[in-house]
Amino acid sequence: AFPTLLSPLDLGHTTLRNRVVMGSMHTKLEDRKRDLPKLAAFFAERAKGGTALIVTGGYAPTWRGWLLPFGSQMTTTGQARAHRVVTDAVHEHDGKILLQVLHAGRYAYHPFSKGASGRKSPITPFKPRAMSTREVDRTATSFARAAALAKRAGYDGVEIMGSEGYLINQFLAARTNTRTDAWGGSAAKRMRFPLEIMKRTRDLAGDDFIVQYRISLLDLVDDAQSWEETVELARGLQDRGVSILNTGIGWHEARVPTIVTSVPPAAFAWVTGKLRREVDVPVIASNRINRPEIAEEILAAGDADLVSMARPLLADAEFVNKAASGRDAEIITCIACNQACLDHTFSNKRATCMLNPRAAYETELVLLPTRTRKSIAVVGAGPAGLAAAVELAGRGHRVELFEAADRIGGQFKLAARIPGKEDFAHTLAYYQHMIETRGVTLHLGKRATADDLADFDHVIVATGVVPRVPPIPGIDHPSVVTYQQVVGDGVEVKGTVAVIGAGGIGFDVAEFLLHEPGESAEHWMRRWGVTDPDQQRGGLSTKVKAPPRREVHLLQRKASTLGKGLGKTTGWVHRATLQDSGVTMLGGVEYVRVDDEGLHITVPVNPKDPKSPREARVLAVGTVVVCAGQESVNDLVVPLTAQGVDVHVIGGADVAAELDAKRAIKQATELAAKL
């Protein structure tokens, strides 16, 4: 069904079996030698699942280029030897694998960083020192040496990381390269560093070796490269023997989102297509390509020769095989939530996947077919219950799933209705399909009682949460509604709105009230000021803000910045979106009462000082939406335990402190592995 996606690609000295590349992801398993067997298992599953070409997470070519202190590096023959376990595991399944060589430059999170110049980046606390002329020369050679070591380790090639604002990008842009020696000054001199790296790498590694280069096609920062310069670089790399050009989008310090859920699928494929028309080597499209039909469309339209999928292959190791065998409905689609992948990376935790907690835990979280088939009831079809039911049935247990509502999904159903989170619907479609495929008996519209459950070997209580209603005078006023009523039940919202509670749900509700679902890529680009790099250096122009659809106040009791508790790599996007839509955000709020005049509150006179005197305000709103947390629903536990039933409580029914599908699915999967 996906003829182009599944067609091989001849690279001359070698052939890729299809067009799917697993994009580079640093999982943290790269950093310690003892974790390499786990890394091998992680990649082996993806190779076994049909991926043609895998790119490892970034490895520094010198210790100064570490991302973090004692981070991953490829600098010695000993390190190369240790990687045999990784390359052998991939080759065993007929996959190919490249080692990514990444020098962090001024993005390094340690005090020994060096960059093209001495300017600190806005996203790291450490000021780099400028490399000396000799150091630049030696660093260029270190990339080639890392490639030679990778070859010894059995890698099929390397990817030179030239994008996302790391060292090579820092050389390329006037923004970060203020050198006056042979490595800076003019565009041609700034380009010399990557061109030398390419030349030396090809010279040292030989012709029978893939050298892929990740080129920054949209820098999305000021004082960046022009399109002309980008094309000149691409052709220079081609002249020096590059095998494949991969797409990089946006420096890490860019204030334009490039990978989160609200970035429309395949939003940047057009710029890869633009490059493809300028060069003769294969090019790879990247970012937010998460379904086989989207990948096929990009390839068939001629925008790329290959597609990179990074997070989608965390979510599903068998992506390619499922697509190839007509089982694409079984694919776990990446929803770009970043909750368990990039957010983990930025908190120095191992990256995995919210929807697939086995990712990067292949040897630790194992779900084998059961030897003793049990009869198991799961109560509640939110993420916890769905994951438990589907995984248990996958192991061969007899599973019945009870859901009080007339559809599956629980709180996740609400998320799927938020503009920018349209992809969440794929998750529910996946579970619906797997319930059928794995023969789970689904009882919809059925609120199970303890008596209904008495005869099962195990009962899993995954009954979720209900919204918490805070004890504010006038909370029963007709203008007050819960987020469930607004987003779930379609209760109409009148006039200006106050949202009580600025956690993830408060932000979601504000977006729901302000934006339409299904934003086009063109509209998204205008809103974030992304343009054709032919028009503006780095593809960055000014944001076009639409007049807000309604006035929204987002309020919280905590005095901290609103949205602080949101995801590390996604929170800023939500904050910026609401700010651009004119939302007033107030922290340190005390709620006094709700009446016909609106919502009465007090706030500190100085918003930065919660202890400053308070002033009273009346927000003349037509609707107050309550997003003030949740309470667990677990009233089945006591009667079931009294009946002597083996009860397990998971998800929001267990802990309602925050709405947390990541925790719910992980807990469900771990339980399913044990029963």
| Residues annotated catalytic, as ranges | 166
CA distance 443 to 312: 31
Tokens 């010894």 — which residue? 152
121 binds ligand FMN per the rule CB under 6 A: no
Give the range of 106-114, 303-311, 458-466, 556-564 binding ligand FMN by CB under 6 A: 303-311
Question: Whose Cβ is closer to ligand FMN: residue 331's or residue 342's?
Answer: 342
Position of tokens 């009230």?
513
Range 443-446 contact pairs with CB under 8 angstroms and sequence separation of 24 or more? 443/400, 443/401, 443/402, 443/403, 444/381, 444/403, 444/405, 444/406, 444/407, 444/408, 445/403, 445/404, 445/405, 445/406, 446/402, 446/403, 446/404
Q: Is 571 in the site for ligand FMN (CB under 6 A)?
A: no
161 touches ligand FMN (CB under 6 A): yes
Q: How far is Cα of residue 120 from the mean position of the Cα atoms in its chain?
A: 26
Binding residue for ligand FMN (CB under 6 A) from 4, 216, 287, 630?
A: 287
DSSP state of 546: P
**Which residues are paired to 129 by β-bridges?**
114
Kindly identify the residues of this chain, within the stretch 305-324, that bind ligand FMN according to CB under 6 A: 308-312
Name the minimum Å distance from CB 585 to ligand FMN.
28
Pairing of strands 9-10, 15-16: antiparallel
Q: Name the nearest CA neighbour of 420 among 355, 482, 492, 507.
A: 507
E-strand stretches of 477-632: 480-482, 497-500, 552-555, 584-586, 590-595, 598-604, 614-619, 623-626, 630-632
Judged by CB, which is closer to ligand FMN: 140, or 309?
309
Task: Compute the least distance from the CB of residue 508 to ligand FMN, in Å.
Answer: 21
Any contact of residue 525 with ligand FMN (CB under 6 A)?
no
Element (H, E) at 245: strand 244-249
CB of 219 to ligand FMN, least distance (A): 14
Considering the complex, state which of residue 468 and residue 568 has its C-beta at the smaller distance from ligand FMN: 568
Q: Which of 145, 288, 458, 527 binds ligand FMN (CB under 6 A)?
A: 288
Within 8 A by CB and 6+ apart from 94, the residues are: 17, 47
- Which of 45, 391 has the CB closer to ligand FMN? 45
Applying CB under 6 A, among 20, 39, 351, 640 the residue interacting with ligand FMN is 351
Of 307 and 505, the one with the shorter C-beta distance to ligand FMN is: 307
Residue with token string 């890490």: 252
For ligand FMN, the closer CB: 169 or 286:
286
Nearest to 143 by CA among 61, 237, 58: 61
State the number of binding residues for ligand FMN (CB under 6 A).
Answer: 25
Q: How far is the CB of 24 from ligand FMN (least distance, A)?
A: 4
The span from the CA of 490 to the CA of 404, in Å, is 19
Q: With contacts defined by CB under 6 A, name the span among 114-122, 284-292, 536-544, 545-553 that binds ligand FMN.
A: 284-292
Longest Cα pair distance anywhere in the chain, in angstroms?
81
- Compare residues 71 and 588 and give the one whose CB is closer to ligand FMN: 71
User: Number of helices and strands (H, E) in the chain?
Assistant: 22, 27
Residues 79-108 touching ligand FMN, rule: CB under 6 A, are 100, 102
Q: Of 229-237, 304-312, 592-600, 665-673, which part binds ligand FMN (CB under 6 A)?
A: 304-312
Q: Tell whether residue 259 is a contact of ligand FMN (CB under 6 A).
A: yes
Residue 272 as a binder of ligand FMN (CB under 6 A): the answer is no
Q: How far apart are CA 251 and CA 152, in angstroms?
A: 32
Q: What's the closest the beta carbon of residue 352 comes to ligand FMN, in angstroms?
A: 9
Compute the distance between CA of residue 413 and CA of residue 424 in angstroms, rounded to an integer.
Answer: 8
Rounded to an integer, what distance in angstroms lies between the CA atom of residue 271 and that of residue 367?
41
- Order of strands across the sheet that contains 458-461: 441-443, 398-402, 375-379, 458-461, 647-649
CA atoms of 344 and 321, how far apart (whole Å) = 28
> Would you count residue 24 as binding ligand FMN (CB under 6 A)?
yes
| Contact between 588 and ligand FMN per CB under 6 A | no
Residue 57, interface with ligand FMN (CB under 6 A)?
yes
341 binds ligand FMN (CB under 6 A): yes
Site for ligand FMN contains 217 (CB under 6 A): no
Q: Least separation, in Å, of the C-beta of 650 and ligand FMN?
A: 26
Distance CA 598, CA 593 (A): 8
Question: Which range, of 204-212, 215-223, 340-348, 463-471, touches ligand FMN by CB under 6 A?
Answer: 340-348
Nearer to ligand FMN, 25 or 389 (CB): 25
Nearest alpha-carbon partner for 604 in 594, 613, 593: 613
CB of 655: closest distance to ligand FMN in angstroms? 25
Give the nearest distance from C-beta 249 to ligand FMN in angstroms: 7
Buried b (16+ CB within 10 A) or exposed e, 654-666: bbbeebbbbbbbb
Is-contact 243 213, C-beta < 8 A?
no
Which residue from 5, 6, 21, 25 is in contact with ligand FMN, where contact means CB under 6 A?
Answer: 25
Q: Are residues 47 and 22 in contact, defined by beta-carbon separation less than 8 angstroms?
A: no
From candidates 41, 43, 54, 58, binder to ligand FMN by CB under 6 A: 58
Nearer to ligand FMN, 20 or 502 (CB): 20
Cβ nearer to ligand FMN, comparing 245 with 379: 245
**Cβ 515 to ligand FMN, closest distance in Å?**
22
Contacting ligand FMN (CB under 6 A), which of 121, 286, 556, 630?
Answer: 286
- Considering the rule CB under 6 A, would residue 345 count as an interface residue with ligand FMN? yes
Helix (H) or strand (E) holding 514: helix 504-514
**Is position 202 an interface residue for ligand FMN (rule: CB under 6 A)?**
no
The residue among 287 and 479 lying less far from ligand FMN, judged by its C-beta, is 287
| Contact footprint for ligand FMN (CB under 6 A) | 23-26, 57-58, 100, 102, 161, 164, 214, 259, 286-289, 308-312, 341-342, 345, 351
